Structure 1
Amino acid sequence: MATTPMVPPILAAGNTNFDVNPAPPPPGTDMTGICFRDQLWLNTYPLDRNLVFDYFAMSPFYDWTCNNEQLRLRSIHPLDISHLSYDPSLNTRTEYMLSELLEPHLFVFRKQKRDGPEKATPMLTYYILDGSIYQAPQLCNVFSARVGRALYHISKAFTTAASKLEKIGYVDAESENEALESKAPKETIDLKEVKRVDHILASLHRKLPPAPPPPPFPEGYAPPASTEGEKRSEEQQAEPQLPSVDPILDQGPSKRMKF
């Protein structure tokens, strides 16, 4: 495999990424909040599988102590799988592998720890999308963010629905009260009509004759021995009987409700 061309010194001197220490400390594990892009490099070199690693090595995501950097110092292509897998001197450091690519738009790098010729433990993932380099978030962080966002929208939806239901219930209660009030008939009392009815009833009560006395006992009827009840009845018969009062007609003005 052909060796990867190094960045020209003139370009390196003019790039702010090379003005600092050429061997910066290893990048942190959480760098999902930053993005790297060098438009000058992209305008000068094509972004393909042969030069994409040189472009990635310019970003702060690159670990200068990886196995790929050792291959670059030996003028070997840093993505040569044969050297990364079978070189015994490189089995104790981390390395970067180009796992997926869609030239020239998408390149996916996987950072892994080489534990043996056939064994490597994945650590982090980086991707280059249209010239911009990002660190991919971990799957647990993605799930946590998605669940938190879903819970937020569900809570907001329930709050909005509850507020709307309260308004609907308040409006329905007001409409029901208005309907009941409109249906209830409003009774109007005419005082003149009440006095006129009282006058008619009083005149009828004066014109009616008194109630007749009770009929006499039939012939041959022998009343039983005198008792207190009979004595009372005899006393009542001896007393003059007052005319019975009609309970319906005897409704004088004094017993009516005053308005």
Structure 2
Amino acid sequence: MATTPLPPAVQATQPPAVGASDGLPPPPGTDMTGICFRDQLWLNSYPLDRNLVFDYFALSPFYDWSCNNEQLRSRSIHPLDLSQLTKMTGTEYALSEVMEPHLFVIRKQKRDGPEKVIPMLTYYILDGSIYQAPQLANVFAARIGRALYHISKAFNTAASKLENIGCADAENEDSSSELNITKETVDLKELKRVDHILASLQRKLAPAPAPPPFPEGYAPPASETEKGPDDQQASEQQPPLDPIIDQGPAKRMKY
């Protein structure tokens, strides 16, 4: 990777911090999501691309001057040269994603070996403005808190409406009962119309066929009207027979 010369504007914006024993500013805080950095003068002077984006990031308060990238800058090596960063251990910055010239994602990580890194924080440069990305736990906590707020508000609104509905039902109980009575009344016109339809259908149907004749030698039983008064009295005096007990053992059900 070719070495990128440090712009003069960047060299002039690295004064040692007051009270620092090693001449470096104090390390940035872990939670700086509430601030934003933008240097319009630098953006008007230099192009914002993958070669100069780290120099622009070094101007912001998110930059840690004790990182390995700063050591590479002091030796006139490009601060994002992975071939040099993999040989070092400690805190470093790496360019994660690039969409020139609008979006640059820079990840702060701790390197313990050539292939072992531990992510710490993430920053992104959006159209020249530098922000710190919130941590995933903070995002989940904010989303869950917002969801609980809306759910609680919805339950309160539903409870208030149910109370209003209960009061309205108590007030309109008499009127609703009258409406139910009127709904249950029979409509005579509708009843006559249904009877007319059934009668017309019955006229259209063919008459029922005559019953088949009795076989030869079969005498139909006499009806109750043909019986004499003595027979009717005798039948009325006899108690009804039990189908199981009084019909004899031959007619009982066998199990």
1:18 CA drift (Å): 5.3
Matches within 5 A, 1:220-235: none
Distance 2:72 2:179 in 1: 93
Partner of 1:23: 24
In structure 2, the partner of 1:111 is: 108
Structure number with larger C-alpha Rg: 1
Match of 1:151 among 148, 151, 158: 148
Give the length in aligned residue pairs. Answer: 176
1:107-146 matched pairs, under 5 angstroms: 107-146=104-143
The aligned runs of 1:239-258 (5 Å cut-off) are: none
Instruction: Give the Cα–Cα distance (whole angstroms) in 1 for the partners of residues 24 and 116 of structure 2.
Output: 28
| 2:47 corresponds to | 46
Output the CA distance in 2 between the equivalents of 1:63 and 1:19.
Answer: 14
Matched, 1:160 2:157: yes
- The answer for the alignment partner of 2:7 in structure 1 is 7
In structure 1, C-alpha distance between the alignment counterparts of 2:179 and 2:84, rounded to whole Å: 93
Equivalent residue letter for 2:63: Y
What secondary structure, in the 3-state scheme, does the structure 2 residue paired with 1:95 have?
Answer: strand
Amino acid in structure 2 at the alignment position of 1:164: K
Give the alignment's TM-score, normalised by structure 2.
0.64
Q: What's the counterpart of residue 204 of structure 1?
A: none
Please, which moves more after superposition, 68-77 or 17-26? Answer: 17-26
Matched, 1:76 2:68: no
CA shift for structure 1 position 35? 0.8
CA-to-aligned-CA distance 1:17-61 (integer Å, 9 cap, x gap):
657738311001111111111111111111100000000000000
Aligned with 2:172: secondary structure? helix
Root-mean-square deviation (CA, aligned residues, Å) is 2.3
Give 5+ residue unaligned stretches, structure 1. Answer: 184-259
**What is the match of residue 176 of structure 1?**
173
Q: Per the alignment, do residues 179 and 150 of structure 1 end up closer, same or farther by CA in structure 2, a change over 3 Å counting?
A: closer
User: After superposition, what is the alpha-carbon deviation per residue over 1:36-87, rounded to whole angstroms, capped at 9, x for unaligned?
Assistant: 111111111111000000000000000000000000000000000000012x
Task: Output the TM-score relative to the length of structure 1.
Answer: 0.63
1:98-133 Cα shifts (integer Å, max 9, x gaps)? 011111111111111110122111111111111111
Deviates more, 1:53-62 or 1:38-47: 38-47
Q: Which runs of 4+ in 1 moved over 4 A?
A: 17-20, 178-183
| Cα distance in 1 between the residues matched to 2:171 and 2:102 | 63
* 2:96 aligned residue: 99
SS in 2 for 1:154: helix
Taking the aligned partners of 1:118 and 1:180, their CA distance within structure 2 comes to 80
Question: What stretches of structure 2 of length at least 5 have no aligned partner?
Answer: 18-22, 181-255
1:153 to partner: Cα distance: 0.3
Q: Tell me how far 1:175 sits from its aligned partner.
A: 1.3
CA distance in 2, matches of 1:35, 1:51: 19
Tell me the distance in 1 between the aligned counterparts of 2:176 and 2:58. 78
Residues of 2 paired with 1:156 and 1:24: CA distance?
47
Cα drift, residue 12 of structure 1: 6.3
The change in CA–CA distance for 1:132 and 1:172 in structure 2 (over 3 A counts) is same
Paired with 1:67 and 1:156, the residues of 2 have a C-alpha distance of 50
Q: Distance in 1 between matches of 2:171 and 2:165?
A: 10
What SS class does the counterpart of residue 126 from structure 1 fall into? strand
